[in-house]
Amino acid sequence: MENIKGKVIAITGASSGIGEAIARHLSGLGAKVVLGARRLAKLETIANDIVNKGGQVVYKKLDVTQPDDVKDFVNFAIGEFNTIDVFINNAGLMPLSMINAYKVDEWHKMIDVNIKGVLHGIAAALPVFEEKDSGQFINITSVGDRWVGPTSTVYSATKFAVRAISEGLRQEVSDNIRVTIVAPGATESELAETISDPELKKVAIEQFRVNLLPAEAIARAVAYAISQPSDVDVNELVVRPTAQKAY
């Protein structure tokens, strides 16, 4: 993990779940982490804990649906640490529903966060990576980026889109810029809390989100991708609980 120490790593959706675990794990490996999310108080708590453990961290309120907000986040990272080496697009929503529930507002929210948010991150960080001809994007998707089932249609569509965006980006950027997707299976997070249908939320929590991976498992996968030599681009990592077979 020597290739992680000293790197400046920006993380969206860093106030809980996978984003928080990534921040804590990479900080423990010597990275300088830049945390972004809408919940500033949670970021402050996480940052204070990282500092108390000897880590280097800064944080900023961030709404990934606003492109200027994401640009400001990248500029903030550069202002604090002089550069940025890795940008992790982690922010996401998962308000599962059947299509004929017609939760159109929720569809738009998922598209705004899960797809446009990733594009905003790319648009903000790519000029920095191109100028120095190095850098890495890590886009956190889901096993939903390759699987669709009832209630996951729109959510999976957003994750399929991020997988396609990531593959296209990988082909378009210079040979010195790396692009990775990490696709978690069932993992401890607050994603189920975004489901607005009480019965569906109950089913998701009781049936589909058992035998969960700890968020730290995804953080370790992210660290593995970052730690590789600069001429090694780990393009995809799919990480499921061993007991998760059907999706």
Which residues in 124-143 are b (16+ Cβ under 10 Å) and which e?
A: bbbebbeeeeebbbbbbbbb
Closest CA to 94 of 15, 161, 181, 159: 159
Active site residue 155: yes
Residues 169 and 190: their CA atoms lie apart, in Å, by 29
- 3-state DSSP of the chain: CCCCCCCEEEEECCCCHHHHHHHHHHHHCCCEEEEEECCHHHHHHHHHHHHHCCCEEEEEECCCCCHHHHHHHHHHHHHHHCCCCEEEECCCCCCCCCHHHCCHHHHHHHHHHHHHHHHHHHHHHHHHHHHHCCEEEEEECCHHHCCCCCCCHHHHHHHHHHHHHHHHHHHHCCCCEEEEEEEECCECCCHHHHCCCHHHHHHHHHHHCCCCECHHHHHHHHHHHHHCCCCCCCCEEEECCCCCCCC
Which of 59, 155, 224, 247 is an active site residue? 155
Among all residues, which ones are annotated catalytic? 155
